[in-house]
Structure 1
């Protein structure tokens, strides 16, 4: 039976010191496999290796057929979009219906929301009839209905699927296998994501226990070896014809060489045997390794502005594509935490862009993280961080570390991942004690531990928040006001406990 397999695959990007992927080995049968880990750990690199977009420095990859990669970014239209535009055969119509694509979407890529682009991107990939389909964050930007639509399309895919996502429920529901990328090594589990994490935790706890026991055994044998060494040298000092002192014996490092005196010989042998046992115990102790858990969690040290409001927009309307969206007065007070909700294409990002020049907040007191950050912008962001002073860079990298990414790997890269870029923007902005944090889809591209840390930090933030997200749990824990775009109007709700699906 055909298989997809990686055998001891290692890859290093040009100009980098550290490999992006090291000794990646696994074999899978048809079905979906989740690739999970911190931002920048090599997940996207692995997908590109599987699809032939990169060639490994060492090791080998065996594919069961054609492999297609759906990129994490949606800045540019996918290859094959033009062919899809003019393809109206039965299969193309079936894919359009399955992913709920409107007829004119392929022709107006640049006016689509990023969530709509994701569905179109996947449709174009499916039309290529791949044996291996690699999806990189397919649920980014996607609303609840779009997510369910994509999951149904994935479930009907008959080949080998590789999924990189921060959506735990999706990985659990559709994936048979999980590859966990860790700093020490890469682990493969024949289980969904949550079960794989539990198995990994059990394995780590067992290793911690074994390490503790091996350490205690080594210390015990080390003390025994020292006692026998002192005894051997004491006996030799007493038996010495030249009346060597104990100090001289220790200085010379003699522990009872073969002599006529059997007592000295026996004591020396026991000393050497005890030393050998201690050395073996030390080797066993050092051979037991496990992943170190770095301190996680961040604090967003924001200031609460003394101004009466950070935004005071009278009632009116604005254009979002072909729609004209009306609204009553929109205000942001210094302590407001606001969620902007609505389905894909409803105008959420358009609203943020309209508000940006109207904010009563200086640039140095504003953290603004857009929905998508291009590769060029990511590189500029990293280069700006590299130019910080040693102390400032250390503070920024500590923040990055506590959000689960490896600072050394990040600084060694030329283009940081989208998730790492978001962490960098947050970290550099925090040094200015911001009044307002604006994030368009803050959970997109970020790994699961980072999302949890960010959620806790935002819930304690002292300034104002304006967040666009489809993650209901995230919004429920971080905001108290909802601006819901429904149809052609923005509805404002304060401290509501009931959140409708968007």
Structure 2
């Protein structure tokens, strides 16, 4: 029995966990929001679903056969069937209500006419008075009255059917960005090819630290101390940087020339320890140094209690209108504003959503998120992906969740790889041990 076994693990580790569990011959129970992981292993899925019935939301537990995509298709079929039944029941109840109202109106008109005839009738005309009494009797106690009673009973039954139909609780999928727009700059970030040393906030040009310089036009490398040219180092700037950054002082992430535009949607992927956070740090430092400043929303992978306290203080300090707008956006990310306002500290997943909605007020041109799906349930992941897909500016996301990246509209991928895997070194090193390289 495993609870969220793929949180904080990279793709390679995820694959090894899947392989190990496939070899297990006993009973496996997994709590997970990782769609790919569930699809690879599950034979049936237990859904905790929010239903709306008789005016309130309740949690229901349902078991469906198959992996997630198969079970989710069954759940969607059930939801559509419920919605169709509700629409039909409401239509029938409205039709019967209209028939009842029309009959009530006709009866009122008939009563008015009868009253007018009775008022004008000669009191001594006994035949006319008896005919009027017969008319009243037939209209209220006869077949017409019985028909009206039947219609009213059918109407009430239709209303009861409408109230008893179970439908999915409301989920929000509106726009949270409050008139956000992309930057008008042609380029938000530019990094020259080189090496980002681990723990550093700067890019060292290829060959600078090792005492080698590479001529961009000829590809010749020159030793700075002797002036001796050694010939073309390699076929590409990335390989040139990798070949020249060979000493221990240069251990870090080797990058090609990078450019980030106003509409780019970049997924930063790779195994843990290969330099993704290092690259994010240097990208953020360039954004903060830009003149004029580039509005940026960045949320780290690991939030703290201090982040939660500051977010709640910011929320409390907003005007009523701004607070309402933030909470509306928060609800659209599959979160409960009432629970947030009830007090206490938000969970890590709730805090991520709140930080995103508070940041949306500042109209960012670029959003950078590090493993944003950690601690989020499946519906929250889907809601966040829709929100990111609708954002008009630049999005950079560090994630191992390929399904989430696809749903968020990520179209460009930057992969951090151990250098050993690239150059064929069988030492098995990765991370700061042998350096890493960024592949586009």
Q: Distance in 2 between matches of 1:471 and 1:281?
A: 46
Give TM-score scaled by structure 2 length: 0.64
* Contact kept? 2:176, 2:357, Cα under 8 Å: no
Counterparts in 2 of 1:242-391, with a 5 A limit? 243=118, 262-263=137-138, 264-266=140-142, 267-291=144-168, 293-296=170-173, 298=175, 301-304=180-183, 306=185, 310=189, 312=191, 315-319=194-198, 324-328=251-255, 331-335=258-262, 337-353=265-281, 356-359=284-287, 360-361=289-290, 365-391=295-321
* Contact kept? 1:369, 1:439, Cα under 8 Å: yes
Partner of 1:466: 396
Matched, 1:181 2:49: yes
Q: CA-to-partner distance for each residue in 1:296-320, whole Å, 9 max, x for gaps?
A: 1546524426496545477344237
Q: CA-to-partner distance for each residue in 1:200-258, whole Å, 9 max, x for gaps?
A: 2222222223223323332333344345445555666677799489xxxxxxxxxxxx9
Partner of 2:437: 491
List alignment gaps of at least 5 residues for structure 2: 53-57, 121-132, 201-247, 420-433
Cα pair distance change 1:220/1:478, threshold 3 Å: closer
Q: CA-to-partner distance for each residue in 1:129-173, whole Å, 9 max, x for gaps?
A: xxxx350x3212212221122234445384562403232442562
Match of 1:422 among 352, 361, 367: 352
Matched, 1:197 2:72: yes
* Contact kept? 2:268, 2:398, Cα under 8 Å: yes
Q: How many residues align?
A: 349
Cα pair distance change 1:166/1:394, threshold 3 Å: farther
Query: Matched residue of 2:163: which SS?
Result: helix
Q: Distance in 2 between matches of 1:232 and 1:351?
A: 79
Q: Which has the larger radius of gyration?
A: 2
Deviation at 1:436, TM superposition (A): 2.9
* Contact kept? 1:325, 1:490, Cα under 8 Å: yes
Cα pair distance change 1:426/1:216, threshold 3 Å: closer
* Contact kept? 1:338, 1:483, Cα under 8 Å: no
Match of 2:14 among 126, 144, 147: 147
Q: CA-to-partner distance for each residue in 1:46-80, whole Å, 9 max, x for gaps?
A: xxxxxxxxxxxxxxxxxxxxxxxxxxxxxxxxxxx
Give TM-score scaled by structure 1 length: 0.57
Q: Distance in 1 between matches of 2:146 and 2:366?
A: 74
* Contact kept? 1:366, 1:437, Cα under 8 Å: yes
Q: RMSD over aligned Cα, in angstroms? A: 4.1
Matched, 1:478 2:393: no
Q: Distance in 2 between matches of 1:416 and 1:287?
A: 34
Q: Distance in 1 between matches of 2:370 and 2:77?
A: 37
Partner of 2:341: 411
* Contact kept? 2:96, 2:154, Cα under 8 Å: yes
Q: CA-to-partner distance for each residue in 1:483-502, whole Å, 9 max, x for gaps?
A: 524233443444xxxxxxxx
Q: CA-to-partner distance for each residue in 1:332-353, whole Å, 9 max, x for gaps?
A: 5443554433212223224434
* Contact kept? 1:305, 1:435, Cα under 8 Å: no
Cα pair distance change 1:363/1:412, threshold 3 Å: farther
Moved more, 232-241 or 381-390: 232-241
Q: Distance in 1 between matches of 2:188 and 2:102?
A: 75
Partner of 1:34: none
